[in-house]
Structure 1
Amino acid sequence: MTAVTRVRNWLAAKRRFEFVATVAMVIALTAVGGALVLLPKSALQIRPVPATADAAVPSVPADPQLPELRRTMESYAPVITRQVCTDDGRLSVVLGHPSQRRDVDALAADVGAAVASVTKLWGTDWARHAVIAVASDPAEFAALTHDSGEVSDQVAAASVSDPFVPPEKPTGQRVVFSAAAGGRLGDVGLRETLRHELTHVAARAVTVDGSPQWVLEGFAEYSAHRGSERTFAQLAPTLTARARAGTLPADLPADDAFAPTPGNDAALAYEQGWSANAYVAERYGEPKLVDLYRHLATGPQDPAALDTVLRTTLGVGRADFVARWRDWIRSRATT
């Protein structure tokens, strides 16, 4: 066999090998493709890589009210969003508009601390996350708070999305700030107002409409100022001035005293409500204050019912409670 013949035979054998190998590969690929077609779709899903600490995925789903809330706000102006994920995986969201970017950023920076502060006072039996909206104008503020009355000049409000859901099963809870909130309140006021409104959110499930305002608003004010380094006179300037002039509250403030109507000193009522709650916290401790709220936030309380609750929770009757509260105000206002 010549060298040329041997080369021809080798090339022929190589072609046969390549042909066989190609056919085998086609058969194998066809089989694999058929198997993939028969697999269920769930088996073909790409499994996500576990998130790192720097990109933690919230363990609690985002609030279901967010899509509808965003749609409502987008009908007024473009929406910007800030998301804050806390250490326990709960997601808080702040929504606003470009013209309120400063307030949106400030609220997002503080919401984690605000939730933690309210939880430390109230306990863990609430959502422990916040949905916060900053409105662009009074009309949007009314839409977001479901306020069908006259246009309000409020700077903030806690709102439940569905007014037909019983208070013990609140849904769609949010805190809404007005477009003027940051300018009117300042940084400290914005921070304290967030805590005030979040306290209403946290306590909503045990709060019945018509409960004494000095309890509802006073407790929220106490929560708002809790841990503040400001003095009694700074936190309650009107109450302090009146006490120094020899005028002390004759009784706990009535509900209508909190209404911001012409000729009504609602600021004084809020200061009195705060002071009554601050007195309880200092004299009996914060757990007793929370217990008192839970007992008194059950609806309207006549004098006899209030006396019974005070005796049950604090061991003192209504008359003695008011007298000791007045003495506490006098001692704080004159120091």
Structure 2
Amino acid sequence: MQQLPPQPRRNYFWLVLSTLLVVSMVLALGGVAATAWVLRGDDEAPAGVTWVDVRPEVGGKAIDDVLARHADAVRRKNVDEWMADVDQADPAFVKRQRQVFENLTKLPFAEFAFERANVSAGRTGAFLPTPLFDRYHAAVRVVAVTVRHRIDGIDSKSVATPWLAVFGLVHGKWVIGGDGAGKDMPTGAAGQPWDAAGGITVVRNDRVVVVLSAGDANGGQKLLQLAETGLRQVAEVRPGGWDGKVLLTAVNDKHIFDTYFAESQDRVAQVAAIAVPYYGSVAEWAARPEYATTRVVFNPSELSAASSELQHDLTHEFTHAAMGPVTGPHTPRWVVEGFAEYVAYKDGRYNAAGIRAALGGMVVGAFPDDKQFYEEPRNYIAGWLACRMIAETYGQAKLVAFYEGFQRMSEVESVSREVLGVGQTQLEQQWRDFVAKAGQ
């Protein structure tokens, strides 16, 4: 909502103001001469007066034009065009925007665009920082923007990530003045590789693009080698059904990783990397978004881990990427995580003492419940053993089919009977027997 001018002493000014409200205009007054022009109704306005039509369908076009120029600046790699639509009032934000631009131009985009999403002001307004409201005197909007892009040689589909851009009205022109912030931000907002606080560098091969902090290119080569091994391991179990290519973010910026744990900051230190599914439209802004790809993001505190640990982490997350097209709301967590552990440890040997030590005093009874799964790290071990049991008892192809079955059915009972020929109770007993034998 636009802030109205203060009430003047002469009541007839409200007749003028009423007219302005009818045509949905904001009048930027350029001093005493402009005020006199408004009150007198002279035929010609002085130079200091600017009319700005802010009806949604017209003001929206002005913002669309800014977004189009902004995207074009990235494609042209023209920083002056980019900065022309950035408010210069906040030096810190100006510096930040230059960094974002530089980072964007480092990425190998085959497609890149900013698109205004159809999200109501009522929803986006919650993300307006108070200082920006105060700066623009309410002539401000939080705009839901879809960053639509494809990474050259990696993405076969257009990928949508969210940006909550704050636009302010300055001298009759909409400019970008800040970023939205707050709780319940859409997945990936402020968590993209170009959002890194410092400069980035990119290393790649035909199947993997790794984004690192500037100066870390040597570490990127190591990650590329490990990534290739991980992709081969995944392909042995899941040879088709996905692109087989990954964008990996491994910047030394904790904020990027922490973005994905806004509601559970206590878990950040326990997670080495995450696989984030993305869609053709921002999931929180669309009714039925179509899956596009999965991005992998590393916890920067884990980048110095031993090669064996990094190898496991990459293979685990790449498995999530491979199964992303067939993972849905009904796929149990123990299947999702257990399958990824199965692939990561597929060629490894285990011993009874190791199993007992890993499980500790955990009682293996029913399959872990989704709601409590991540509260108990040992559920990863339990899920891994369950998937390994299915693969060894029924064959690896049946394990993959079991995973895929949750696309069509929502219960373990129905999926297990269709794919494996046994009910959930019998499957759980087979799992308990397998765990007991493995620990002997």
- TM-score, normalization: structure 1? 0.66
SS in 2 for 1:131: strand
Q: Flag the structure with more relative contact order, 1 or 2, with Cα contacts below 8 A and sequence separation at least 6.
A: 1
Q: Whose radius of gyration is greater, 1 or 2? A: 1
| In the alignment, structure 1 residue 160 sits paired with structure 2 residue 274 | no
Query: How far apart are the structure 2 equivalents of 1:249 and 1:327?
Result: 10
Question: Please, which of 313, 319, 322 is the counterpart of residue 419 of structure 2?
Answer: 313
Counterpart for residue 105 of structure 1: 221
Query: How far apart are the structure 2 equivalents of 1:169 and 1:67?
Result: 13
Counterpart for residue 42 of structure 1: none
Counterpart for residue 368 of structure 2: 253
Equivalent residues in 2 for 1:190-269, closer than 5 Å: 190-231=310-351, 233-234=353-354, 237-239=357-359, 241-242=360-361, 248-260=363-375, 266-269=376-379
Uncovered stretches (5+) of structure 1, i.e. residues with no partner: 1-59, 86-90, 261-265
1:251/1:67 Cα in 2 relative to 1: closer, same or farther (>3 Å)?
Answer: closer
1:307 offset after TM fit, Å? 2.1
Query: How far apart are the structure 2 equivalents of 1:252 and 1:203?
Result: 20
Which stretch shows the higher mean deviation, 112-121 or 325-334? Answer: 112-121
SS in 1 for 2:249: strand
Percent identical pairs in the alignment equals: 23
Query: How far apart are the structure 2 equivalents of 1:288 and 1:71?
Result: 36
- Amino acid in the other structure paired with 1:255: D
Residue-by-residue CA offset, 1:187-226 (whole Å, 9 max, x unaligned):
2121111111111111111111243111111111111111
Query: How far apart are the structure 2 equivalents of 1:257 and 1:98?
Result: 39
Structure that is richer in strand per residue: 2
Equivalent residues in 2 for 1:62-211, closer than 5 Å: 62-63=154-155, 72-73=193-194, 75-85=196-206, 91-98=207-214, 103-143=219-259, 145=260, 148-151=262-265, 152-153=268-269, 154-162=271-279, 163-164=282-283, 169-183=290-304, 185-211=305-331
Residue pair 1:168, 1:206 contacting (<8 A) in 2 also: no
1:231 offset after TM fit, Å? 3.6
Counterpart for residue 61 of structure 2: none
1:150 offset after TM fit, Å? 4.8
| In the alignment, structure 1 residue 61 sits paired with structure 2 residue 167 | no
Uncovered stretches (5+) of structure 2, i.e. residues with no partner: 1-151, 163-189
Query: How far apart are the structure 2 equivalents of 1:99 and 1:66?
Result: 28
Query: How far apart are the structure 1 equivalents of 2:356 and 2:229?
Result: 24
- TM-score, normalization: structure 2? 0.51
Structure that is richer in helix per residue: 1
1:103 offset after TM fit, Å? 4.7
Residue-by-residue CA offset, 1:162-208 (whole Å, 9 max, x unaligned):
4427888322521000111134x532121111111111111111111
Query: How far apart are the structure 1 equivalents of 2:320 and 2:257?
Result: 18
Residue pair 2:247, 2:296 contacting (<8 A) in 1 also: yes
Query: How far apart are the structure 1 equivalents of 2:332 and 2:301?
Result: 29
- Amino acid in the other structure paired with 1:327: D
Counterpart for residue 55 of structure 2: none
- Amino acid in the other structure paired with 1:200: H
Residue pair 1:84, 1:93 contacting (<8 A) in 2 also: yes
1:284/1:130 Cα in 2 relative to 1: closer, same or farther (>3 Å)?
Answer: same
- Amino acid in the other structure paired with 1:310: S
Query: How far apart are the structure 1 equivalents of 2:356 and 2:251?
Result: 29
Query: How far apart are the structure 1 equivalents of 2:309 and 2:299?
Result: 13
